[in-house]
Structures are given as structure tokens and as C-alpha cells.
Amino acid sequence: MTDESKRKLALVFLGPPGAGKGTQAKLIAERYGIPHVSTGDILRDNVARGTGLGLKAKAIMARGELVPDTLVFDMVALRLRQPDAEQGFILDGFPRTVAQAEWLDAFLERELIDNAHNVKVRPIVVQINVDYNQLLRRLTGRRTCPAGHIYNIYLQPPRVDETCDVDGLKLVLRSDDREEVIRERLAAYERQTKPLVDYYWNKGRLVAVNGGSAVRQVTGQMIQAIEQMSAAEVKSGRR
């Protein structure tokens, strides 16, 4: 393990649907020995376990309302205080707004100090950029077998058109994989994320990588960017 990998890291991954955030989070988490923290997973876990926070969230969602930031903050804080996150974490799906980013900055200022390097830990934000047309191919090309096997008619097609290689069942196009739905999801992401990208860019916290390359190449770009920013900030004492 390199000296860089022993440093405490607070990583935030940004990227549109289909950019490969989940795949990269798994690989980067293995590299640094830190957990991949998805706010969606946190919410589902709290609801499933019937925690106090989960019961509050469940009641709010049952009314068709959005879970408020205050409740999300409590869930995220509880998760990031777990022993497996002592050396850092990867956040996926949080923050989504500038207000959430400001909360995260304040949380890290109080609670995540890298005593070994005598620095405060601030987030390194990795933006995974993928060409719009490539995103459409990744998302609209997805076909799902009723048994759970997933294909892509452009990138990973079945041997027989529209038929699962494993069990011979007919593949289906899910409603949320239709092009009109995908285009709206991508447009919504751009609208919602731009202020967040600007926020981190102005703070010098943002690095961008080309997510259109092969998976391992993207991982290599991300590791290089993370370690360069981490090392530079430790050296300068700004972190």
C-alpha cells in the first residue's frame, strides 16, 4: 500500500446516469480500503431496519414528499461515523445541492482530521464525464431478462436477438430505459448538478476524468487525479 493510500480520503463522485459511478466506486473503494457510501442505500437500510430515522423517512415518503435535508444529514452523519469510514469514504449520490455540499464541508471540518499528516480532510470531487450520445447508447440499449440478467444491444448484445443467453427468456425494455425518459433524466441531472460543479470548481476541489474510456483506464485516471490532489494538499498544508 502506498503512502498516498494510507491518507484519509473524502471522495465525492459526480456523474450523470450511465457514467459508471457505481462500477468505479467499487474499484476505488477496493484500492483504498474505504467504503462506498450510497445515500440511496443508506435510506433503504434505515427504512428496512425500522430505525428511528428510517421510520420518519418512511412516513414522509408515504405522503409522496421528499425526505428533507435535515433527515438525510442525520443518516449520512451516522453512516460516516461508523468504524469502517475512519480512514475515509466514497460518497455517491450526495451531495446533490450546494446546501448539502456546505453541510458536508462543515461535517468534515469537525469530524475527519488526518492526524498522521497533520491536515484537515476536505472532499476531493471527481466528475466523470461521458459524451451525451455514448450515455444514450449505454442507457437506451439496456435490455433486461425477467430472471435478472442484463444486456446492452449496442455494447453487450445477446447471442440471439432479444433473447437471454442463459435461460432463453425474452428480453424486455424497461419503461425507465426508454429514450424519452432517459433524455429527461440527463437534462434534469445537468440542471441540478451545474451549481454543485461550479461550487466545487471555485473551491479548487474538482477534478474531471474521461468516463468514455475502458473501465480500467477510467480507474487509472481517477487514482492519478486523487493521489495528485491529495499529495499536493498535504505538501502545501492547505487541506
What amino acid positions are annotated as catalytic residues?
21, 96, 142, 174, 185
> What is the DSSP-derived secondary structure letter of residue 153?
T
Task: Return the C-alpha torsion angle 44, 40, 17, 97, nearest 10.
Answer: 150
Within 8 A by CB and 6+ apart from 62, the residues are none
Q: What would the grid cell of residue 31 be?
A: 484500492
Among 12, 3, 2, 23, which Cα is nearest to 218's?
Answer: 23
Q: How far is CA 221 from CA 73, 209, 212, in A?
A: 30, 6, 12
Task: Return the C-alpha torsion angle 159, 160, 161, 167, nearest 10.
Answer: -100
Strands of 4-99 (E only): list them: 9-14, 36-38, 88-92
Residue 2, φ and ψ in degrees, nearest 5: -75, 165
First to last CA, the chain: 22
Q: What would the grid cell of residue 229 be?
A: 490532489
For residues 61 and 77, give the distance between their C-alpha atoms in angstroms, rounded to a whole number.
Answer: 21
